[in-house]
Chains A and B, each alone.
Chain A
Amino acid sequence: MITNVKRYEDVAVGEELPELRIPLTRTMIVATAIASRDYQDVHHDPSLAVERGSKDVFMNILTTNGLVDRYVTGWAGPAAVVKAIRIRLGAPNYPGDTMVLTGTVTAKHDDRRVEIAVRGVNEIGPHVTGTVVVRLPGQGIDS
């Protein structure tokens, strides 16, 4: 059983995605780093992170990709196929902060690809800015 299948025809350029607030706990930052098999100490060891010039452990970029993916496909529905995720990182995601993701549909292409501009902001500033491209199902078409 699937719900929330967004079709290409349902989407308009300029449409805004509902905001998603993601609490950034220390456990989540470590759990996601390990789930992405990233064992760089700056993502789990606070004292080594400080030694390397950071104020604390911080989220790894693979997780930012995962969260941006979750945000857009959560809106686009399970039938959406992700064709591109292009991100730039800014302010680090530190434990205790909250990242607020927002998005806007910026383009629609004939092959049912839809581009969404995504931005994730924490208390310091923009953590991530980027674009996600998904291909949506059309009317009467499954995928």
Chain B
Amino acid sequence: MSDSAYEDRLQAWVGRELVTRRPGQDPVNVPMIRHWVEAMEDDNPVYLDEDAARATGRDGVVAPASMLQAWTMRGYAASVSPDAERTGSDELTDLLAEGGYTSVVATDSEFEFHRELVPGDHVSVEETLEAISPEKKTALGPGRFISTVKTYRDASGEIVATQRWRMLRFRPAAKPEPAPKAPRPRPAINHDNEFWFAAAREHRLVIQRCADCKSLRHPPGPCCPQCGSFGWDTVESAGEGHVYTYVVNHHPRHPAFDYPLVVAVIELTEGTRLIANMTGVEPGDVEIGMPVVLDWIDPDPDLSLPVFRPAVAEES
């Protein structure tokens, strides 16, 4: 859809009623007033003390003027329920979200109070859209100001207050890139083990094999511990095995790792063991003997390392 078509759809809302007259869930009442004045730490006695309120010339306690909007809020259930009855306001919110304006912050509220509210008053609200601004650059991100008028009435229909209301609906500004993570500690690479890390960069897990007696060994070394031969080649592991043992590291912490950090000794089906991290499992769920399969991590362009995740049983 073109920008102007979107603009037309938005502007079509101007003058429309966003919320048709809707009564608050409960009439003005002392418990909600008490909740409000306690949270606001407002000790004006006319809100809770009948005698004090009468001493000021009132008939009894009154609700704080600023509390008006609270009487007509939809309440928790409707705030979180996807099945709540949808209003024009919800439809406009969706249309704005379609334009990327997914976040909201209220910017202006102008109350004019016609009379004080007293317990028993049942207040309703209706809301009409006055204006939608063109997109503006704001500190929060590009957005549009939505101006409405809310009219509050008592049960007899008399207006008790009006409220001009302005919100900014905005696209959150792109977050700054998180600071690069500390690089993972470098393996000490030498002539004897460089083949292993070179294969790892190609996501191949290899095992050193004696060229003479054919026994497998890990970690890499220059000489066969079985027959003493210096001749060797490699085989590629199938990447399956089980947890031989493990620890969960909490402390001390290195900034390159996420904690708790599982450090496991994996016994491969080929018979050799290697130390590796685990992935795809909560530290508390790791068990000795747990079947695992090979996966790879690439902490940075120069380093790839094998990790192991729990083997998923074939679904029948």
Contact = CB atoms under 8 A, between A and B. Distances in A.
Given A52-B172, A69-B64, A1 B51 contact: yes
A65 B51 contact: no
Interface of B: 35-36, 38-46, 51-53, 55-58, 64-67, 69-70, 73-76, 79-80, 102-113, 116, 140-141, 170, 172-173, 175
Contacts of B140: 53
17 contacts: A2-B55, A31-B39, A35-B38, A37-B74, A40-B104, A61-B107, A65-B111, A66-B40, A67-B40, A68-B66, A78-B44, A82-B116, A85-B66, A85-B113, A89-B105, A137-B57, A143-B56
A60 interface: yes
A84 B110 contact: yes
Contacts of B46: 2, 78
Interface residues of A, number: 44
A69 B110 CA distance: 13
Contacts of A69: 40, 42, 64-66
A35 B45 contact: no
Interface in A72-90: 73-74, 78-79, 81-89
B172 A78 contact: no
A36 B70 contact: yes
A28 B36 CA distance: 11
Contact of B36 (A36, A82, A83): A36
B75 A37 contact: yes
Contact of B107 (A37, A84, A88, A137): A88
A42 B140 CA distance: 14
Contact of B102 (A31, A34, A52, A81): A52
Interface in A113-138: 137
Interface of A: 1-2, 5, 28, 31-32, 34-40, 42, 51-53, 60-63, 65-70, 73-74, 78-79, 81-89, 92, 137, 142-143
A60 B64 contact: no
A10 B65 CA distance: 23
A89 B107 contact: yes
Given A66-B40, A78-B44, A84-B111, 4 more contacts: A35-B70, A37-B75, A66-B36, A86-B109
A35 to B, nearest CB: 4
Which of the listed residues A60, A62, A63, A142 has the most CB atoms from chain B within 10 Å of its own CB? A62
A142 B66 contact: no
A53 B143 CA distance: 12
A31 B53 CA distance: 26
B52 to A, nearest CB: 5
Given A69-B42, A74-B44, A60 B57 contact: no
A2 B66 contact: no
Nearest to B170: A53
A5 B103 CA distance: 43
Contacts of B75: 37
Nearest to A88: B108
Contacts of A66: 36, 39-40, 42, 64, 66-67
A74 B75 CA distance: 29
Contact of B109 (A40, A65, A143): A65
A1 B52 contact: yes
A2 B113 contact: no
Contacts of B107: 61, 88-89
A89 B38 contact: no
A89 B172 contact: no
Contacts of A53: 103, 140-141, 170, 172-173, 175
A63 B141 CA distance: 24
A35 B36 CA distance: 5
A2 B79 CA distance: 39
A78 B3 CA distance: 53
A70 B63 CA distance: 12
Contacts of A68: 66
Closest 9 A-B residue pairs measured CB to CB?
A53-B172, A142-B57, A143-B57, A69-B66, A37-B73, A82-B65, A35-B39, A61-B106, A86-B110
